[in-house]
Amino acid sequence: MTRQALAEIGPEMDDLHPEWGPFGVPLFDAPEAQALSRVGVIDIGSNSVRMVVFDGAARSPAYYFNEKILCGLGAGFSETGRLNPEGRVRALKALRRFAVLAVGMGVSPLLTVATAAVRDAEDGAAFRDEVRTKTGLDIQIVDGDEEARLSAQGVLLGWPGAEGLVCDIGGSSMELAELRGGGRVGLRQTSDLGPLKLMGIEGGKKAVRAHIKARVADLADAFPDRPERLFLVGGSWRAIARIDMERRGYPLKVLHEYRMTPKAILETIKLIEKSEINELRASTGTSAERMRLVPLAAEVLKVLVRKLHPKEVAVSSYGIREGLLYEQMSEALRHRDPLIEAARHAEASSARMPGFGRALYRFVEPLFPRAKLDKKRLIRAACLLHDVSWRAHPDYRAEVCFDNATRANLGGLTHAERVYLGLALLHRYKSNRAGTNFDTDLLQLLPEAQVAEAEILGRAMRFGAMFTVEKPTDHGALTWRSKRKELLLTLKTDEGRALFGEVTEARFNALAAAMKATPIVVGGPQAK
């Protein structure tokens, strides 16, 4: 998330609800969010037909159901102008299944959209009517401009306040959309640069490359301001990113928020050009149907990156389906922090003491007096999530916490922030990383100072959770004297003195050791 976006999210409810701190009152249990608790989206694309059902915290929803069929509706379109006959049969069969499943899951609303293949095919309207008759699904056929807008909104679901250029590639088309400050979608353009369309161009590779260069040049002219960041949306882009991960030996296999430089992308494209497709497919686990589109998609991306000159390229797993969910949200929900809302929802549904995370945050906050807002949100999220994995086996609880943080389907988290959050939660349950299956390669994503800070946060939560099960600030206060390297615990009440037992003291001392500080207790049992 950008600092501007964090600034906009942070203080919005402070004056009205100071007890909630810099992230406002949670909205996931408000009526407007509950109305979006189970939203279904069916996306009929040129290559795939997919149904996703979102569930849970509306601002950062869980994927309750997610099924994709690679039907290839747009295959052969350039020659026939019609939907692929075999793909049409497979798509109708899939849509029948999805319609029945949606009823069983109580999905409402269920939104069904079709993009380039159906909108361009001469039998697209007939297919829509057949689907309505045989399944009851009412397909909305969106034009290229609308498809670009919805994809850009999907990016905003994961990156509130994101700025840059969104590039969504499907089987038969590619869309560009401008993201301006404040979560606004600006200029949009569509093109015929989908791999299935490019396969139908006559004249071989030379003709295809000439067509790509001409169309990208037209698109670049429509966006005179070169983007700082290019957001990639679509299965073919994700497949290329996975190849980039494999080439680099990247340790975290999470595609969302994966960052690449233009130089790295061009190196990966060279690898694709000289490699056997089956070898790439085997090494990355990509389906054969998807991999056959990758070489042409890579050719498009190569020209696009060279023409637009972005400073950074980021992969978004969120696209048109998430954009349709975003469309249903109120402005209040849209401007909330997806990480904090998801963490609150997880605490409310899974923690032993829902609500304690907020109190724990207040207790440990004095240890991080110089933390900026982007760091405060990570500390807040860690405190909210500190107990949601308590049902895991004690021998593996620390590892489960780490895996949940680093691999969860969450928006608003860079890969470095995932590792920071995971480390903090690991140390919430285990004083050190020895004896865990922790992947030390992941530490390369985080500066050494941040690794140490995450461990301190984890040990602070470990101490705070042991000290008292509710309102720790009522009974004690932490003070960090950085110049003296002293960690001070002030016990305020008789209950606080009683709560400061042997195990609690051991955890306090362990926290001080992590901070390389002298532990000092004021008002302890010896004072009575």
Domains of the chain: 28-141 (3.30.420.40), 145-322 (3.30.420.150), 336-527 (1.10.3210.10)
Q: Per-residue confidence at 182, pLDDT binned at 50, 70, 90?
A: confident
Say how far apart CA 497 and CA 101 lie, in whole Å.
57
Give the pLDDT confidence score for residue 17 in this predicted structure.
43
Q: Are 27 and 33 within 8 A, CB to CB? A: yes
Q: Which residues contact 235 (CB under 8 A, 6 or more apart)?
A: 47, 48, 290, 293
| DSSP of 80-110 | HSS--HHHHHHHHHHHHHHHHHHHHHT-SSE
The separation between CA 527 and the C-alpha centre of its own chain, rounded to angstroms, equals: 50
| pLDDT score of 30 more than 90 | no
| pLDDT score of 479 more than 70 | yes
| pLDDT score of 476 more than 90 | yes
Q: Are 71 and 90 within 8 A, CB to CB? A: yes
Lowest mean pLDDT among 92-101, 208-217, 385-394, 400-409: 400-409
Model pLDDT for residues 419-442, shown as the tens digit of each residue: 999 999 999 998 887 766 677 889
Q: Once rounded to an integer, what is the mean pLDDT over residues 136-145?
A: 95
Q: Cite the DSSP H helix spans in 144-234.
A: 144-158, 195-198, 204-222
Q: Which two tokens stand for residue 384?
A: 């909210």
Q: Per-residue confidence at 24, pLDDT binned at 50, 70, 90?
A: low
Give the pLDDT confidence score for residue 8 in this predicted structure.
42
| pLDDT score of 375 more than 60 | yes
| pLDDT score of 308 more than 80 | yes
Say how far apart CA 406 and CA 441 lie, in whole Å.
13
| pLDDT score of 6 more than 60 | no
Q: Per-residue confidence at 130, pLDDT binned at 50, 70, 90?
A: very high
| pLDDT score of 19 more than 80 | no
Global model pTM greater than 0.85? yes
Q: Which two tokens stand for residue 94?
A: 């899939």
Give the total residue count for the chain: 528
- Residue type at 206 in one-letter notation: K
| pLDDT score of 205 more than 90 | yes
| pLDDT score of 129 more than 90 | yes
Give the pLDDT confidence score for residue 396 in this predicted structure.
85
| % of the chain at pLDDT higher than 70 | 91
Strand ranges across the sheet with 62-69: 62-69, 49-55, 38-44, 110-114, 140-141
| pLDDT score of 108 more than 70 | yes
Q: Which residues pair with 194 in a beta bridge?
A: none
Q: How many CB atoms lie within 10 A of CB 208?
A: 18
Q: Per-residue confidence at 527, pLDDT binned at 50, 70, 90?
A: very low
Q: Once rounded to an integer, what is the mean pLDDT over residues 321-335?
A: 86
Give the pLDDT confidence score for residue 408 in this predicted structure.
82
The separation between CA 189 and the C-alpha centre of its own chain, rounded to angstroms, equals: 25
Q: How many CB atoms lie within 10 A of CB 124?
A: 20
Give the pLDDT confidence score for residue 148 in this predicted structure.
97
Question: How high does pLDDT run on average in the chain?
Answer: 89
Give the pLDDT confidence score for residue 523 in this predicted structure.
87
| % of the chain at pLDDT higher than 90 | 73
